[in-house]
């Protein structure tokens, strides 16, 4: 059986690949200028990041705080054919003397072939908050 990937799923897959390789220009090209990313919890990495520049700065902070060890392994990408994609993954990183590995997911809204909104979910919000540290 041949697998034909939905265009919205292909867009999200390209985003994960660009994130993993540090390709910020490709990431920028996949998002609307007013895209929003919503991260759960109450840590320094939690909140609502509005605009592509703020989202890319947020991604940069993930890398900075983990000294470049932050990685994401995609487990599945599931489009609904109506402008939404759910992606599940496993993420890990090291920060100081501790590491973390956790399942999570992103719920994407796609408008006009670009990501306009991303809602992030993690398996254990309290553990994620403890890893990232308190909001500043």
**Residue-averaged pLDDT of the chain:** 96
The answer to the question of residue 136 being in a domain is: no
| Residues 89, 105 contacting (CB under 8 angstroms) | yes
The answer to the question of residue 1 being in a domain is: no
Interior/surface letters 35-74, b for 16+ CB within 10 angstroms, e for the rest: bbbbbbbebebbbebeebeebbeebeebeebbeeebebee
What integer pLDDT is reported at residue 1 of this predicted model? 42
What integer pLDDT is reported at residue 73 of this predicted model? 97
The whole domain housing 25 covers 7-131
Q: What is the CATH number of the domain that holds 98?
A: 3.10.450.50
The answer to the question of residue 85 being in a domain is: yes
Q: How many domains does the chain have?
A: 1
Judged against a pLDDT cut of 50, whether residue 28 lies above it is answered with yes
The answer to the question of residue 109 being in a domain is: yes
Which token pair is 37? Answer: 């990313």
Scanning the structure block, which residue is given the tokens 């919205």?
A: 8
The answer to the question of residue 106 being in a domain is: yes
Tell me what the mean pLDDT of segment 36-64 comes to: 97
Which pLDDT tens digit goes with each residue over 54-110? Answer: 999 999 999 999 999 999 999 999 999 999 999 999 999 999 999 999 999 999 999
Q: Determine what percent of the chain is predicted with pLDDT higher than 70.
A: 99
| Residues 54, 61 contacting (CB under 8 angstroms) | no
The answer to the question of residue 2 being in a domain is: no
The answer to the question of residue 31 being in a domain is: yes
What integer pLDDT is reported at residue 4 of this predicted model? 87
Tell me what the mean pLDDT of segment 31-44 comes to: 97
The answer to the question of residue 61 being in a domain is: yes
């Amino acid at each position: 059986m041949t697998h034909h990937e939905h265009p919205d799923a292909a867009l999200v897959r390209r985003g994960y690949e660009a994130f993993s390789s540090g390709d910020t220009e490709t990431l920028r090209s996949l998002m609307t200028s007013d895209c929003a990313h919503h991260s759960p919890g109450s840590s320094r990495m939690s909140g609502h990041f509005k605009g592509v520049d703020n989202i890319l700065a947020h991604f940069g902070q993930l890398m900075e705080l983990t000294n470049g060890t932050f990685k994401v392994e995609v487990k599945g990408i599931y489009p609904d054919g109506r402008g939404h994609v759910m992606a599940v993954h496993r993420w890990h990183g090291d920060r100081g003397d501790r590491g973390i590995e956790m399942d999570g997911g992103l719920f994407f809204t796609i408008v006009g072939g670009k990501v306009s909104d991303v809602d992030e979910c993690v398996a254990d919000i309290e553990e994620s908050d403890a890893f990232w540290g308190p909001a500043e």
